[in-house]
Amino acid sequence: MLYEKIAKPVLFRMDPEKAHHLVIDGLYAAGRVPGMTGLMHAIWGVRESPELAVELFGLRFPHPVGLAAGLDKNGKAVDGFSSIGFGFMEVGTVTPKGQPGNEQPRLFRLPPDEALINRMGFNNDGAEAMAERLARRKVRRIPVAVNIGKNKTTPNDRAHEDYRACIRTLYDSGDLFVVNISSPNTPDLRALQHGDELGRLLDAVNGEMAAQAAKRGQRAKPVLVKIAPDMTDEQLAYTVETIASSGISGIIATNTTLSRDGLTHPNRGETGGLSGKPLKDRSTEVIRAIYRQTGGKLPIIGSGGIFTAADAYDKFRAGASLVEIYTSLIYRGPGLLRELTDGLKALLQRDGYRNIAEAAGADHI
């Protein structure tokens, strides 16, 4: 209520990217004030419950609703985000070298569609800067995933070098890693989802993860691949087969879409990736297809268009084990996390499930 009545009207009168930076900087500043993260957790935190706790990838998630990549691109506000009720979060996308991204303006709101369009272009400060920030974390309530990508100037036939460089620099910084090959805003990046290039890239990523783990005498950390929603059925099947056979830990479905179906706001003409409510059904379809193809053996994180507990629950029943939000947080504020988790518990009780893991893939039974 506080967000929608006071903060949102102010933020939505600002340029979207300036509002974005204001939120990140505010959470960063709050995280540095003694006692503030505890106060934030008391106000917005989600009380742990056995129905929603998830054990996956060798990690414990206090509940299954996380923050998608793209909001905290530089790992600057992790302590703040870790204190407002998320069950996990992604930082990034980060590239080996810092880069400015695409020209502004590059972020657009579509309020009647409850959507965003962005063409940010992996703007970030680089892997070294992120590693330094994550090393200063004080709040460690939730798992943190590091989302990695390639620099714009790196050709696809050398993309594996960038992903390996990110892993070398950030291996100790994250609990798990996400290979982003699906942003529509880096030229030719989505081509890495198809053909032999994907297999070679994942082999390189797995090799680097294994090498870094061996240096530390540890088991390799989990790695997931984030895929696009815009593939044909044939392309999706081939991509999933390649990912499943590579030994990768799981898939995030999905990134933003290039589709503009059903949009009403004038900003629908802007180029870039669309996120928010219009992506809900397609991302759930992709989750369902992945689960069906893999027999439920490859963990899926569902992302795209989650605004209500029912939206999230549809993704669990389609096959997701965890879900992520981004655009709905912008439109609804941090109070949404309690709405989602309380709603999920009610839906589990309605359907007679003891925990969220029992609901994962229920539509396929």
The phi-psi region of residue 305 (left if phi > 0; otherwise alpha if psi is between -120 and 50; otherwise beta) is: left
Domains contained in the chain, number? 1
The Cβ of residue 211 has, within 10 Å, a number of other Cβ atoms equal to 14
What residue numbers bound the domain in which 53 lies? 2-364
pLDDT band at 193 (very low <50, low <70, confident <90, very high): confident
Question: Could you tell me which residue, 5 or 216, shows the higher pLDDT?
Answer: 216
pLDDT in tens, 115-127: 999 999 999 999 9
pTM of the predicted structure, to 2 decimals? 0.96
Q: How far is CA 1 from the centre of its chain?
A: 25
CA-based R_g, the chain, Å:
19
Q: How far apart are CA 298 and CA 56, in angstroms?
A: 11
- Locate 82 and state its tokens: 């870790």
Does 227 have pLDDT greater than 80? yes
Contact between residue 322 and residue 62 where contact means Cβ atoms under 8 Å apart: no
Q: What are phi and psi of 164, to 5 degrees?
A: -65, -40
Does 66 have pLDDT greater than 70? yes
Does 109 have pLDDT greater than 70? yes
AA letter at 116: L
Q: What are phi and psi of 226, to 5 degrees?
A: -95, 125
SS3 153: coil
pLDDT in tens, 138-158: 999 999 999 999 999 999 889
Average pLDDT over residues 82-103: 97
Q: Is 183 a catalytic residue?
A: yes
Q: What DSSP letter does each residue of 15-29 carry, written as one string?
A: -HHHHHHHHHHHHHH
Q: Element (H or E) spanning 358, and its range?
A: helix 356-359
pLDDT of residue 43: 92
SS3 253: strand
Closest-CA residue to 323 (of 250, 252, 227, 239): 252
The dihedral of CA 55, 256, 157, 193: what is its sign?
positive
pLDDT band at 188 (very low <50, low <70, confident <90, very high): confident
**Which stretch of 30-39, 97-106, 187-196, 277-286 has the lowest confidence by average pLDDT?**
187-196
* Mean pLDDT for all residues in the chain: 95
pLDDT band at 3 (very low <50, low <70, confident <90, very high): confident
The dihedral of CA 358, 62, 48, 328: what is its sign?
negative
Q: How far apart are CA 142 and CA 67, in angstroms?
A: 11
pLDDT band at 191 (very low <50, low <70, confident <90, very high): confident
Does 297 have pLDDT greater than 90? yes
Q: How far apart are CA 179 and CA 145, in angstroms?
A: 10
Q: Which of 82, 83, 182, 183 is catalytic?
A: 183
pLDDT of residue 1: 62
Average pLDDT over residues 352-362: 97
pLDDT of residue 269: 96
- Residue 21 sits in a domain whose CATH number is 3.20.20.70
Q: Is 288 exposed, middle or buried (0-12, 13-18, 19+ CB in 10 A)?
A: buried
AA letter at 261: D
Closest-CA residue to 224 (of 168, 179, 290): 179
